[in-house]
Chain A
């Protein structure tokens, strides 16, 4: 089974600082890495490949730093990588990014399954999986936390279906999907492996293709800042309003804190 995993390079969220006076996040100069959702998608692709064979291709759009970041995907077990680096891709909105990914997938051509994080760790818009599916005219399921390949009666032929469990918060919905399909996964799906040292050292020997806008036939009218219809108005940290209640008496304090926790629903009566 040939699986394409779309991976987004995000800033290391743990290292973001908030300027106390302006509430602006300081993101300049922070390291870029793949988010947890992307790694779960890649981990699942590798596990499926380990059982059913085929090929795993990691796909990512981003800055030149991607040439380094993508090695982590190759070290984890992707067979090859395609990275898309072009100034015209910069400042794309979700539609622009989905268009770049969909065109690339079309160019790759041979695929049975497209896996990606249901949302990205930084913007968390959750728009990319359905948009790609729409552009490629494929079925799509989001919030997926379990994937099972449905074995064909004829063991020799390629699997044609997968069964997925979609997280509906208070229930799980199990769906059978015809392949090829687009699946957006959550971090409950698995625990991504740590790449062994030998694989890290071999990662740069695996095939890595770098494509530009010309290679996939997109123009600045379709993607990037000019095509973007979404404008970010603010990304300030929320105002923290601490009540600043101090109990001098311990006995009274414990009772009051328990009462407050019960009111907030943290503790049951």
Chain B
């Protein structure tokens, strides 16, 4: 057993760290306030490999292992949660289904541009106004074959990156009789007539990452824009979500690490009762607990990533990692505010932003409750 990152992984961490310090962190507060997407940083991410982490090398991607992705997302999460969220949604949700299930022609057609981000990012549309995790029974967006075209009608909600995407992988019901084999994934370019992308949602956190509702009104795409197999949309989606959990957990670790780093710095400087905060046992315990929880979550995330890279089943492990990492991040950010006192509650310090960002992590890509269901199902089956 070896817990040491390879030299390449360490170098990659430093590269993403330096990039985040230069391009992402300095604008995090401003973009959170204005709810703007950091387009300049994304332009620079393509050549670095950050937009092709789930794309094989032969299609212009970086073709890296999950551990390298986890490391990158952790570093981006430390700098700006919203920016990291758009990166993970692009890679893990938008590009991954094309890489995993796309035909040779589809991969050649879409992946090289997505790896550079030149035409926009990728998004995955699952959730609907009335349906979250209950995809089998709930998805109402339907696609019907008319000649050589799919005609899509319906609506989607809470779609990360839709406003900055060039294409959206859309989960549609292709068999009206229902059941687990009635759903399919279809690629919809955002320029397609009839696709309406609504203004970005007003959110509590993750504000630098656009989230939009979508309406599909007789949206027509070629028949061969079907991704993978007809009727396998649910299975393909669940496979994608297993990997996505590792990404969300990684961002949570970044948020928690940034928050506690800020709190440690503050605790060493700020004095109360004649001594620095850091000399009070109450504060020391909060810091010790936080560091311990972050490390535990990090190990679970890295292990889930390692299992995925080995080709082993990792569904339970990624659910456990996401559950622990996201709940931990909320708790650590909460305590980091506590250590800062009133200043932690002020937008003058970045901690309150991290707390707001961390709040989404226990909801997006499967709530904590869904993670517990996944874990329990695997344990009890």
Contact = CB atoms under 8 A, between A and B. Distances in A.
Contact of A201 (B8, B18, B72): B8
Given A68-B7, A194-B18, A194-B48, A200 B12 contact: yes
Interface residues of B, number: 18
A75 B50 CA distance: 16
Contacts, number: 41
A196 B8 contact: no
A198 B57 contact: yes
Interface string B9-51: 0011001001100000000000000000000000000011110
Contacts of B112: none
A83 interface: no
B7 A197 contact: no
Looking at B11, B47, B62, the one whose CB has the most chain A CB atoms below 10 A away is B11
B53 interface: yes
Interface in A43-68: 68
Contacts of B62: 196-198, 201
Given A196-B62, A198-B57, A203 B8 contact: yes
Contact of A72 (B11, B19, B48, B72): B11
Contacts of B50: 197
Task: Tell me whether chain A's interface is mostly helix, strand or loop, or mixed.
Answer: helix
Chain B interface mostly = helix
A200 B63 CA distance: 12
A106 B63 CA distance: 40
B64 interface: yes
A68 B15 CA distance: 15
A198 B11 contact: no
Interface of A: 68, 71-72, 75, 194-198, 200-201, 203-204
Given A68-B7, A194-B18, A197-B49, 18 more contacts: A71-B7, A71-B8, A72-B11, A194-B19, A196-B48, A196-B62, A197-B15, A197-B48, A197-B68, A198-B57, A198-B63, A200-B8, A200-B12, A200-B15, A201-B8, A201-B64, A203-B8, A203-B11
15 contacts: A68-B7, A71-B11, A195-B15, A196-B47, A196-B62, A197-B48, A197-B49, A197-B50, A197-B53, A197-B72, A198-B49, A198-B62, A200-B12, A201-B64, A203-B11
